[in-house]
């Protein structure tokens, strides 16, 4: 008989949490028991899984008893408080927050890129930042053929990257502006409807925001290469779902765009979207709800003979968070890397 697992979603009511629930069902993840955890605010609510209404439970020590896998997506503070508790009770925690990503003993995994890193886990595995996951899927297959020396990224990040409430805020602001009212910004720092602004994560002494430095540091950790030079400018745009990225790559030697196209057309987790006749390239509305990262507009950088330009869009709630986490859980099962299982 095949094994099934006791799973808890921490942050089940959020943008990532509800996507996790959908993916566990649609991918027929082998579940023996499912616990849905969120804040006290959500206790009393239920969420549907396979036709059954499952109650939301508060987060307590007992909630992590008899759990094999915790899929955590309730923010860094909550993960810092509860991940250790869950691990002490025998669970493996796959964490969507940034709490443990750069910890030297915590593997940071994109299954299509560095699945081997899972073998060294000590109870916690980190899911990378969403913009980083999307970028690594497109860059890694090229980097494997010819090493990338430098990456220059500009991102166009959707409202849902800031959670379910930010998505609702942009809808409300859009309705308000169309009705001639002043838009109100409570979740995000400024009105995003009909606007854009540099990413609202905290600014660091370098002048970069934390989101930009995540792309730099996490990509190096995932690729296992501290030498790659990376810079990024992250921007929030009034798109509801799916992030876009303009990526400039500089290689050691010239990289023919047709060769890059051929490699990316075969790359796992990537879908090439290029119709030069109709100017049809990846768009957030076509990336939304998709498992693959859409990549296109691959062209020679006319300012550098070893440079390539490309454009990508990916559903950051799905592959940038929930799907990547579920794929890590599937990898742990496949490689027999879970601490405890039920038959
Ligand atoms: N959105 C994205 O695209 C994305 C992508 C990658 C990673 N992430 C990361 O995933 C995590 C969740 O993001 P999200 O966008 O899903 O946020 P969200 O929509 O705001 O959802 C947050 C979830 O965390 C729960 N929560 C908040 N405080 C809690 C507490 N003290 N104890 C227990 N549960 C608590 C919330 O429960 P209530 O509903 O009860 O408040 C809700 O279920 C964050 O760490 C975020 O950085 C998000």
Contacts 24+ apart (CB under 8 A), 80-85: 82/10, 83/123, 83/124, 85/61
Q: Answer yes or no: do 192 and 305 share one domain.
A: yes
Which one of the listed residues 121, 143, 199, 243 is annotated catalytic?
Answer: 243
Which pair of tokens denotes residue 71? 């899929």
Q: Answer yes or no: do 73 and 148 share one domain.
A: no
Compute, in angstroms, the gap from residue 14 CA to the centroid of ligand 1: 5
Q: Answer yes or no: do 269 and 200 share one domain.
A: yes
Q: Answer yes or no: do 140 and 217 share one domain.
A: yes
> What DSSP designation does 280 have?
B
Q: Are strands 229-236 and 148-157 parallel, antiparallel or unpaired?
A: parallel
Identify the residue whose tokens are 């792309």: 215
Q: Answer yes or no: do 180 and 296 share one domain.
A: yes
d(C-alpha 106, C-alpha 124), whole Å: 6
Rounded-to-10 torsion of CA 37, 125, 327, 71:
0
As for ligand 1, residues whose beta carbon falls within 6 Å of it are 11-17, 38-39, 41-42, 59, 73-76, 78, 96-97, 130, 160-161, 163-165, 316-317, 320-321
To test the pocket of ligand 1, the residue of 10, 36, 39, 98 to mutate (highest count of ligand atoms within 8 Å of its CB) is: 39
Q: Answer yes or no: do 285 and 329 share one domain.
A: no
Amino acid 339: pLDDT: 65
Q: Answer yes or no: do 32 and 110 share one domain.
A: yes
For the domain that residue 337 is a member of, what is the CATH number?
A: 3.40.50.720
- Is residue 261 a contact partner of residue 284, using CB atoms and an 8 Å limit? no
d(C-alpha 153, C-alpha 330), whole Å: 30
Q: Which of 211, 215, 176 is nearest to 195 (CA)?
A: 176
For the domain that residue 287 is a member of, what is the CATH number?
A: 3.30.360.10
Mean pLDDT by groups of 10 residues along the chain of 343 residues: 91 97 98 98 97 98 98 98 98 98 98 98 98 98 98 98 96 98 98 98 98 98 98 98 98 97 98 98 98 98 98 98 98 88 44
The strand pairing partners of 55, in sequence order, are 46
Amino acid 2: pLDDT: 79
What is each CA distance from 324 to 119, 132, 207, 329, in whole angstroms? 17, 12, 30, 9
209 part of the active site: no
Relative to the CA of 243, which ligand 1 atom is closest? 3
Residue 248 lies in domain: 132-317
Q: 252 a known binding residue?
A: no
**Helix residue ranges, H only, 128-209:** 130-145, 164-178
Q: Answer yes or no: do 104 and 150 share one domain.
A: no
Q: Answer yes or no: do 157 and 30 share one domain.
A: no
d(C-alpha 220, C-alpha 192), whole Å: 31
Q: Tell me if residue 278 falls in helix, strand or coil.
A: coil
Q: Answer yes or no: do 123 and 176 share one domain.
A: no
d(C-alpha 126, C-alpha 123), whole Å: 10
d(C-alpha 274, C-alpha 82), whole Å: 44
Q: Answer yes or no: do 15 and 120 share one domain.
A: yes
d(C-alpha 39, C-alpha 43), whole Å: 7
Q: Which of 33, 36, 32, 6 is nearest to 21 (CA)?
A: 36
Amino acid 1: pLDDT: 56
Q: Answer yes or no: do 109 and 149 share one domain.
A: no
Q: 160 a known binding residue?
A: yes
d(C-alpha 71, C-alpha 2), whole Å: 21
280 part of the active site: no
pTM of the model: 0.97
- Orientation angle between helical segments 323-334 and 15-26, nearest 10 degrees: 50
To test the pocket of ligand 1, the residue of 41, 57, 75 to mutate (highest count of ligand atoms within 8 Å of its CB) is: 75
Which pair of tokens denotes residue 182? 């002043």
Q: 161 a known binding residue?
A: yes
Q: Are strands 69-72 and 92-95 parallel, antiparallel or unpaired?
A: parallel
Compute, in angstroms, the gap from residue 72 CA to the centroid of ligand 1: 9
Which residues lie closer than 8 Å to 91 by C-beta, 6 or more apart?
A: 8, 64, 67, 68, 69, 70, 123, 339
- Is residue 313 a contact partner of residue 270, using CB atoms and an 8 Å limit? no
d(C-alpha 86, C-alpha 94), whole Å: 11
The strand pairing partners of 296, in sequence order, are 311
Q: How many domains does the chain have?
A: 2
Which pair of tokens denotes residue 129? 């930042």
């Amino acid at each position: 008989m095949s094994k099934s697992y006791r799973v808890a979603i921490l942050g089940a009511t959020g943008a990532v949490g509800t996507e996790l629930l959908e993916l566990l069902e649609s991918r027929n993840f082998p579940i023996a028991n499912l616990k849905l955890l969120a804040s006290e605010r959500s206790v009393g609510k239920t969420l549907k899984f396979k036709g059954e209404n499952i109650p939301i439970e508060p987060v307590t020590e007992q909630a992590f008893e008899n759990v094999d896998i915790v899929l955590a997506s309730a923010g860094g503070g909550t993960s810092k408080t509860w991940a250790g508790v869950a691990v002490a009770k025998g669970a493996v925690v796959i964490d969507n927050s940034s709490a443990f990503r750069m910890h030297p003993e915590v593997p940071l995994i994109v299954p299509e890129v560095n699945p081997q890193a899972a073998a060294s886990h000590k109870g916690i595995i980190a899911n990378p930042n969403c913009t980083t996951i999307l970028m690594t899927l497109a860059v890694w297959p090229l980097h494997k053929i010819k090493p990338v020396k430098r990456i220059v990224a500009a991102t166009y990040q959707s409202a849902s990257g800031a959670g379910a409430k930010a998505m609702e805020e942009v809808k409300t602001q859009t309705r308000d502006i169309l009705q001639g009212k002043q838009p109100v910004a409570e979740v995000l720092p400024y009105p995003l409807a009909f606007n854009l602004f540099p990413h609202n994560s905290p600014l660091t002494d370098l002048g970069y925001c934390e989101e930009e430095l995540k792309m730099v540091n996490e990509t190096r950790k995932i690729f296992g290469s501290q030498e790659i030079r990376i810079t990024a400018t992250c921007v929030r745009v009034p798109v509801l779902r799916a992030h876009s990225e303009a990526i400039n790559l500089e290689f050691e030697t010239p990289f023919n765009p047709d060769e890059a196209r051929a490699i990316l057309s075969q790359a796992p987790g990537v879908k090439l979207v290029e119709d030069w006749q109709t100017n049809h390239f990846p768009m957030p509305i076509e990336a939304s709800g998709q498992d693959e990262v859409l990549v296109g507009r691959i062209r020679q950088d006319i300012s550098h003979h070893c440079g390539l330009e490309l454009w990508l869009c990916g559903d950051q709630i799905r592959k940038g968070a929930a799907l990547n986490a579920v794929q890590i859980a599937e990898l742990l099962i496949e490689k027999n890397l879970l601490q405890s299982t039920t038959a």
